[in-house]
Amino acid sequence: MSDAVLVEEDGGVLVITINRPEAKNAINGDVAKGVGAALDLLDSRKDLAVGIITGAGGTFCSGMDLKGFLTGELPFTPERGFAGIVQKPPATPLIAAVEGYALAGGCEIALSADMIVASSAAKFGLPEPKRGLVAAAGGLMRLPKRIPFHIAMEMALTGDFYGTEQLAAFGLINRIAEPGKALETAKELAAKIAENAPLALAATKKIIVESAEWSTAEMWDKQGEISNPIFGSKDAQEGPRAFAEKRKPNWSGE
C-alpha cells in the first residue's frame, strides 16, 4: 500500500486515511489502489468489525485529480470502481469522517459509506456540471435515496456547496462534530458498533442494502438466506452465553 493511503487498526476498527493533503486529497490511481486494498483487508479480517474512511490535513476529498485525468491517469480499480470504493463498497460497515470539503468524487465516496460523521464546518457538493462533467461515481444514484428528491436534484444541478447542518436536517449526517473532531467522533461511533458480533454486523448491513431491491413475495426468503447462517454460528452461541454469565462476549467471527 502506498503512502497515498494510510491504514491504522484501532480495537476492531480499521481507519483508512486518504493522504494527499497537498492536493486536497484528490483521487489519483495510487489512492484508488490504496483504498481498494484497504477495503479488501477490512473485508478479509474476522477481527475487524467496522471501517472509517477519512482524509488527511483537514479536508476529506476534493474529488478526482483533474490534472491526472488530463494526462490519462485512471483513478479507479477494476474491482471497486472510482477511488477503489464507489462500485463495490465493503461488506463490512463503513463510516465516513468528513472535515473540510467532500466535493464531487469526495462527496460520492462519503455517499458510498454507511454512515457519515461530519464537522460542523464541512461542505458537501457535486460541482461536476460547473466543469462540464457529470457526477458519475454514484452520487446521482445514491443522493436521491438519502435525501428528498427535490433537494437532491437542486444539489446536483446547481453544483453548489451545502453545509453539514443543512444536510443533517435532511437526514444525511449521523453525527455533527466540532471542527477537527470528526475522526474522533467517528471512532466513538465505530467503537459502539465494534462491540457487536462482526458476522451479525455484516449480515445486517447486507439485508438493509439489498432489501431495497426485493419484492414483497421474495423478501422473507432473501432475508433468510443471509440471516439463517448467522443463527448457526459460534458467535450466536457466544452472545447468549455471555449475557447469561453477565460478561462481555468474545466474538470469534465464526
Catalytic residues: 108, 128
Distance, CA of 16 to CA of 37 (rounded, Å)? 10
Distance, CA of 55 to CA of 148 (rounded, Å)? 27
Distance, CA of 186 to CA of 181 (rounded, Å)? 8
Binning the chain into helix, strand and coil, the percentages to the nearest 5 are 45, 20, 35
Continuous segment of H or E residues that includes residue 98: strand 94-98
CA-to-CA dists, residue 73 to 15, 28, 66, 106, angstroms: 26, 7, 9, 17
Q: Would you tell me how many other CB atoms lie within 10 Å of the CB of residue 181?
A: 17
238 neighbors 251 (Cβ within 8 angstroms)? yes
Q: Would you tell me how many other CB atoms lie within 10 Å of the CB of residue 100?
A: 23
